[in-house]
Structures are given as structure tokens and as C-alpha cells.
Amino acid sequence: MKLKQLEGLLGGLDQFPNPKVELEQYPTGPHIASRMLFTAENSFEDISNKVVADFGCGCGTLGVAAALLSAEHVLSIDIDPKSLEIASLNAEELEVDMDFIQSNVMDLRWRGQIVDTVIMNPPFGTRKKGADLDFLNVALKVASQAVYSLHKSSTREHVKRTALRDFNASNAEVLCELRYDLPKLYKFHKKKEVDIAVDLWRFVPGKHQS
């Protein structure tokens, strides 16, 4: 599938009608989502024929993108039932088969090393400090092959240090810097549109103890 085609398909997905501030529900736009998954597949072969998990899936965009790029099994997790409802309709709309679980990403307990790749657009941690790194910590324990994640560019050094030193990642690399257009979703946003710089990361988990 071509990048433009993927972006086009993702552009038709439904997004949060009433985003929840406390969960930092920002939609992952089709521009960013398509580039993230396209890179994961075409540069690293981390998607097709793999088991892929989406942490904090929201309306399901990243998982749907993985399924469109021929992931064998996609498991998307979110705490919010409304998001999961939309995500599962989105999957149906594009006729892709995905599994969903309603859970706090921090609370799930996993058996074995079945997940190959974790993809996620975690809460940036502006409301709940460190939330993005909490997600990353779990992702690096669950994935056997790679973790793709978005973090604010302003936190680049901190993310790198924490991943390598505290989360046992064997590699942490910024693949590209993207502009994240946040439409004015919440009352506390003063400007009409906020444009922030985010990094697309690829992390390689360290060797797991079995």
C-alpha cells in the first residue's frame, strides 16, 4: 500500500466527539499515523505478519493502520469505553479484524513474549506528569521487537536517557520530528490551534528474562 493511500483511508476515520481532558485524548491525525506505520513497515519490517499492540488506542487509528499494512494480529487497548466503541466501528468500517481490551495500560498482566511490536501515541504527560514514560516502560517490557512512540521534542534527552538507563532499552532513536497540530479541543487552550513539535521514536527492547 502506498503512503498516500494509507493516509487517505485513515483520514476517513471517526475521532473523539467529546475528548476527555484527564485522559489527554488528542486524536492521532492521519498524517502522523500513516508516516509512523509506513516507516515501521518499510524501513524495519516491524508490522506485516507480526503481533502488534496499540497502547492507549483512543479511536484506533494506529491499530487500524497496522492492520491495513498486514499485521497478522492487532490488539488495541484503552481505558475509555467510548473510545473503544468508536475504534471498533472504525475497524469495521475499513473491514479490518482487530482485538480490543478495555483496561488501564499500566494494570494489564501479560504472559509470555507474544507481542512483537508496540505502537502508541501516549498521553504527553502535560496533565499527568510522566504519563508518556509510564506507557513506554510497560511497552518495553511487553514488546519483543520494537516500540514506536511519539513524545514531545522538548523532552528528547530525558526520554532517551530514561529509556536506555531505566527501562533497559538497547536502542533509542528519533526517526523524525513531526508537527502535531492540535485543534482547540479544550477550554484551557487559548490559541485556536496549537502546533507542537513531537519526535517519532523507535525503541528496541533489551533482552527479556524469560
Partner 1 sequence: MRLLTHNMLSSNIKGVEKGFPLRIEAEKVVEKPVEMNADFLRKMFEKVEWKAFLEASRSMGYAQLPEEVDSGMLESDEFLSRFHHALLELHLEEGALVCPETGRRFPVNKGIPNMLLHEDEV
- Between CA 172 and CA 20 the distance in angstroms is 30
Report the residue number, 37 or 75, with the smaller CB distance to partner 1. Answer: 75
| Residues 39-58, mask of contacts with partner 1 (x by CB under 8 A) | ----------x-x-------
User: What track of x and - describes contact with partner 1 for positions 111 through 140 (by CB under 8 A)?
Assistant: xxxxx-------------------------
Sign of the CA dihedral running 60, 109, 19, 24: negative
Q: Distance between CA 71 and CA 117 in Å, rounded?
A: 10
The angle that helices 30-42 and 61-68 make with each other, rounded to 10 degrees, is: 40
Reduced to 3 states (helix: H, G, I; strand: E, B; else coil), residue 56 is: coil
Q: Which of 108, 126, 127, 158 touches partner 1 (CB under 8 A)?
A: 108
The least distance separating partner 1 from the CB of residue 182, rounded to whole angstroms, comes to 28
Applying CB under 8 A, which of residues 99, 173, 177, 181 lies at the interface with partner 1? 99
Going by their DSSP bridges, the two strands 146-152 and 169-183 should be labelled as unpaired
Tell me whether strands 193-205 and 169-183 are parallel, antiparallel or unpaired.
Answer: antiparallel
- SS3 category, 106: coil
Is 162 a residue that touches partner 1 (CB under 8 A)?
no
Q: Please provide residue 60's backbone torsions phi and psi, each rounded to the nearest 5 degrees.
A: 90, 5
Whole-angstrom distance, CA of residue 139 vs CA of residue 142? 5
Q: Which stretch binds partner 1 (CB under 8 A): 31-39, 56-64, 99-107, 189-197?
A: 99-107
In angstroms, give the least distance from the CB of 118 to partner 1.
Answer: 13
79 binding partner 1? (CB under 8 A): yes
Q: Are 23 and 81 in contact (CB under 8 A)?
A: no
Residue 157 in contact with partner 1, rule: CB under 8 A: no
Only segment of 36-44, 105-113, 163-171, 186-194 that touches partner 1 (CB under 8 A): 105-113
Rule CB under 8 A: which residues touch partner 1?
49, 51, 72-73, 75, 79, 81, 84, 88, 97, 99-104, 107-115
